[in-house]
Structure 1
C-alpha cells in the first residue's frame, strides 16, 4: 500500500502498489519469516492513513479477478503488485534484460550495465530469425545514482535493494525514496552463489534459483504463459541430461576459470555451487578438479602450478565465447607455456569457451547445452571446434538438448 501526502495527494506512481513496506533496518515486510512487531505497526498505520481515500475504490478492487493485477513476492522486497504491466523498466545486472527478452518484453528495458551481455546473447541466439535484442543500446556504466533513476522515471527497478545499500552514496532513505516516488525495487542479488547479504538485510533473506526468479519477473510482466512454456522446455532439457549422464565414477574433472589471454591472471570459480551463477554447470555434475576447496567471494586466484597440480580433464574458460575475446590466442599461449602444455586438458584439446555466469533463462538454455557437450561428448555429441567470431553452432534437431525452434516461437510470440 502506497502512502500519500495529504497536502499534495498521491504521487504519479499511484497505479503501482508496493506491497512490502521498507523497515528501518533495510528488511522489507511481506517475506516469509520476516513479519514482526515493527512490520505490523507499519502496515496498520499505513492502512489507517489511507483508509478514507481508498474507500471509494475498495469494492471495485475486491471484485477484480486475479488477472487484473500483476503480483510477485520475492525476498528481500516482499510483495510487489502492479496494476499494469511495466513498460519502462530499469535493470542493472544482465540476467534481467535476458528475462525481459525471453518474455517478449525486451523493449521495456531502459538500462543495463556491461555491454558484453549484448554480444553474448547475440552469439547464442544467432539462429533466431525474428529475434531482436531491443536493449542493445541501453548499456551504461557500472553503478547508478538516484538522480539517474529520477531521470529514467521507471515503472519498475529490477535490482536488489540489499545490494543497492552497499553502493556509494546510497542509504536507506534513498532506497525508500525511490520506491515511494518512482517505482518499486525487485531483485535478489545474493542468490548469485547464495552469498551473504549485508548484515542489516540478512535476517530472513531467502535464496532462489534462476528459474524461480524468472517466474516472479514473468508474473509482474503478466507473461505467465511465456514463462510456463519456457519452463517446460527447461524441464525437458534437464530430463534429457539426467537420463544421459554417465555414472559419477566416469565423469570428467573440470576447472571453471576466468583466465586472461596472456595467462597473467587465472581465477577459479565454483563449478557445482548453488545459485544462478552455476545454473548451467551444476546440473551436469562434473567433478570439480579442485575438490571441495572453499573460498570467499566469487573467485579465487590460482597460478599455473596450482592448475597443473589439479590437472583437470576439462578447462571451461569463462567470458571467451565471442569475438571480443582472443580464444585462439589463449589456447596457443597454453600450448606454448612450459607448465600449461603439461595440462591434460591442453594435451587432449579439451579447453573450451564459455559465455557468462550472468545468465538469464535464454543464455542458460544454450549454455547448459553447450557445456553438456563439452563435458560429455560421448553422451550428448561433441562440441565443435570454436574459432573467434563463430556463431553458436547450428545443431540439427537430433543433436539439440532442447528445442531451439520452440524457444524461438515462444520468445517471438509466434506460437505460445
Structure 2
C-alpha cells in the first residue's frame, strides 16, 4: 500500500490509541487555530477513551500515560514497534526490558555511551544498536515504519522542516500517538503555538509515563527506588557548600579547536546527573545566550576550575587521551588547576535515560568528591565502566542487572 493510500485510511486504525485532556480541545487533533496549512481539518476520534466492564463501570484502557503537551495517551496493548529520535527514550525502553521494540534512534554515539556504562551486565543487549539513523525524519518515514507509538515531543517536531500541527494530527490518527517532552531537557522555550499547553517534567517523570505505556510499572518502580536511595546517599555525603570544588562542564574538541562551556546546575533533565551534586559552576557568574557558550583557553584559565567534566569522552566523538595530552601541552591550558592536578574527567552524554543517569550520578559524584564517595580511576581510551566492589558502589549494580533481566522481587 502506498503512503498516499494510507493517508486516506479512517482516522484511527491502531489498537485503541486515544488522546484526551483539555489540550486536545485546543487543537492537537483538530490542528492549531490559525495554522497556515489550509488543508487542516478537525478530526473526530472513532473510539471513546473509556470502556465499560462487566459491572457497567467505566474503566480506562490498561496502558495509559499523560504528559504535556500531548495530553493523555492510551493503548489497548503494550507497543511492539516504537519510533524515537532522541536517545533518552531508547535508554528507557532498554531499562524496561523492551529495547527490542525500538525501530529508530538518532546518533550512534548513544549506543557507545550506553555500552560503556552497561558493559559489566551479563546478557544485557542494546537491541537498537543497529537502528540508528540520521538527524530528523519525514512523515513518509513514519508511514514506512508503521509504529505503534512515537516517543517524540510533537511540539519539537513542528520546529523541523515540512512539519505542521496538521501533520502531527495525521500521524497520530493514521499511525500511532506521540509521547514526549523535549523542552524539559533544559527548561527551554517551546514554540509559541504550544506554549499554553506546555509543562516541564523530570527525566524520571518521563520514564514513569513510558513505563505505564509499556506495562512495565514494576520495573520502573524498582529502578526508581534504586535512584531514590542513590540520591539520598549522595545528599547525605556531600561536604558543606564552602568545601565543594569548582567545576567546568565542557564540550571540547580533541585538538582543542573548539571549547564550549555548559551550565553545570541548570534546570532540566540534561543536567540530572550534575545538578544533584551541587558543585560550584566555574562559569556560574557569566551570561549565556543559549545552552552553550564558546570560550577560549584564556577564558578557561580565568575561571581556573578545580575539575573539568568533559562531555562525549566515553564515545568515539572525542579521543580523551589525546585531548588530555593537548591540554597539558598547551601553554595556557597547562596552567589550569584541573589540568595540573589530573582532574580532567570523562563524561558520557547529557542525552541520558534512566540507566545512564544512574551510572553518571555515581561517576560524577566520585569525580567531584573522591574523599566522600571514593576515587574515580584514571580513564584510558577503550575502557569500560569500572568494576567497583559492592563497598565502592553508590548504588547496587547487581540489583539493577537483576531488574533489567526481570529477575527481581518487586
Report the TM-score, using the length of structure 2 for normalisation: 0.90
Shift of 1:115: 0.7
Output aligned runs, 1:183-202, within 5 Å.
Answer: 183-202=176-195
Query: How far apart, CA to CA, are the structure 1 residues paired with 2:235 and 2:27?
Result: 40
- Correspondent of 1:408 among 389, 395, 401: 401
- Correspondent of 1:389 among 382, 387, 398: 382
Q: Does residue 234 in structure 1 map to residue 234 in structure 2?
A: no
Q: Secondary structure at the match of 1:196?
A: coil
CA contact (8 A) 1:88 1:109 kept: yes
Shift of 1:15: 2.2
Partner of 2:301: 308
1:174 and 1:340, CA in 2 relative to 1: closer, same or farther beyond 3 A? Answer: same
1:336 and 1:414, CA in 2 relative to 1: closer, same or farther beyond 3 A? Answer: same
CA deviations 1:37-59 (Å, max 9, x no partner) are: xxxxxxx9958xx5xx8799656
- Correspondent of 2:327 among 313, 329, 334: 334
Q: Secondary structure at the match of 1:203?
A: helix
Instruction: Find runs of 4+ consecutive structure 1 residues off by over 6 angstroms.
Output: 53-57
Partner of 1:35: none
Partner of 1:107: 100
CA deviations 1:17-53 (Å, max 9, x no partner) are: 2225875976689xxxxxxxxxxxxxx9958xx5xx8
Query: How far apart, CA to CA, are the structure 1 residues paired with 2:262 and 2:244?
Result: 19
Partner of 2:91: 98
Output aligned runs, 1:15-164, within 5 Å.
Answer: 15-20=16-21, 46=44, 58=52, 63=57, 69-164=62-157
Query: How far apart, CA to CA, are the structure 1 residues paired with 2:340 and 2:96?
Result: 43
Unaligned runs of 5+ in 2: 1-7, 31-41
Query: How far apart, CA to CA, are the structure 1 residues paired with 2:279 and 2:160?
Result: 36
Shift of 1:294: 3.3
User: How many residues of Structure 1 are paired with residues of Structure 2 in the alignment?
Assistant: 391
CA deviations 1:220-267 (Å, max 9, x no partner) are: 111110000000000000011001000000000000000001111000
Q: Secondary structure at the match of 1:227?
A: helix
Partner of 1:12: 13
Q: Secondary structure at the match of 1:173?
A: helix
Output aligned runs, 1:254-265, within 5 Å.
Answer: 254-265=247-258
Query: How far apart, CA to CA, are the structure 1 residues paired with 2:63 and 2:220?
Result: 14
Shift of 1:94: 0.4
CA RMSD of aligned residues (A): 2.4
CA contact (8 A) 2:11 2:43 kept: no
CA contact (8 A) 1:76 1:188 kept: yes
Shift of 1:11: 3.6
Query: How far apart, CA to CA, are the structure 1 residues paired with 2:106 and 2:49?
Result: 43
- Correspondent of 2:282 among 289, 311, 323: 289
Partner of 2:368: 375
CA contact (8 A) 1:27 1:203 kept: no
CA deviations 1:316-366 (Å, max 9, x no partner) are: 000001355310000100011010000000000000010000000000000
Shift of 1:64: 7.0
CA deviations 1:179-233 (Å, max 9, x no partner) are: 1100001000000110000111111410011111111111111111000000000
Shift of 1:302: 0.7
1:120 and 1:26, CA in 2 relative to 1: closer, same or farther beyond 3 A? Answer: farther
